[in-house]
């Protein structure tokens, strides 16, 4: 069942605002109507070829027909790292790093900020940020 456009837009804006709060130190790599994405602030080698990319993908938000998808890459490195700071948000985790939201009330701003803050800490430990 398609999500009402107003609800989809409110969810998108709320998640986008959370990502914008992380810039700096993160860097916005894509800001379009259908996607907002942030990356680390340090060029790093990526993939089997070791090609240097401007920053490691950190998080993005993408509105879909029946939900808003929110990808947070550090979560894929260890869900347990986030259980104490964002238990409510983790209920919407549908894969290793993909959260799906259909209701605005599923997003607690404090948990969102804590989740992203913990992700920044992990990105720094992994060497993806200065």
pTM for the full model?
Answer: 0.92
pLDDT digits (tens, 9 = 90+) for 43-79: 999 889 999 999 999 999 999 999 999 999 999 987 7
pLDDT on residue 80: 84
Give the CA-trace dihedral at 76, 77, 83, 89, to 10 degrees: -20
The pLDDT of residue 113: 96
pLDDT value of position 90? 92
Fold of 5-125: 3.90.1150
Q: Which residue has the tokens 């986030």?
A: 82
Residue pair 119/59 in contact (Cβ under 8 Å)? The answer is: yes
pLDDT band at 124 (very low <50, low <70, confident <90, very high): very high
Query: Does residue 7 carry a pLDDT above 80?
Result: yes
pLDDT over 90 for what percent of the chain?
Answer: 85
CA distance 79 to 86: 10
User: Which DSSP string corresponds to 52-103?
Assistant: EESS-EEEEEEE-SS-EEEEEGGGGG-GGGGTTT-HHHHTTB-SSSEEEESS
How confident is the model over 79-98, as pLDDT tens digits?
A: 788 999 999 999 999 989 99
């Amino acid at each position: 069942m398609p999500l009402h456009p107003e609800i989809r837009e409110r969810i998108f804006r709320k998640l986008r605002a959370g990502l914008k709060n992380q810039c700096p130190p993160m860097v916005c790599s894509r800001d379009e109507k259908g996607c907002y994405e942030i990356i680390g602030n340090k060029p790093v080698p990526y993939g089997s070829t070791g090609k240097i990319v401007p920053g490691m993908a950190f998080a993005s938000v993408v509105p879909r027909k029946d939900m808003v998808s929110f990808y947070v890459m550090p979560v894929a490195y260890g869900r347990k790292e986030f259980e104490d700071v964002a238990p409510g948000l983790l209920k919407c985790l549908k894969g290793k790093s993909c959260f799906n939201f259909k209701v605005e009330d599923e997003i607690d701003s404090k948990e969102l900020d804590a989740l992203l803050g913990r992700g920044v800490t992990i990105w720094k430990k992994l060497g993806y940020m200065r």
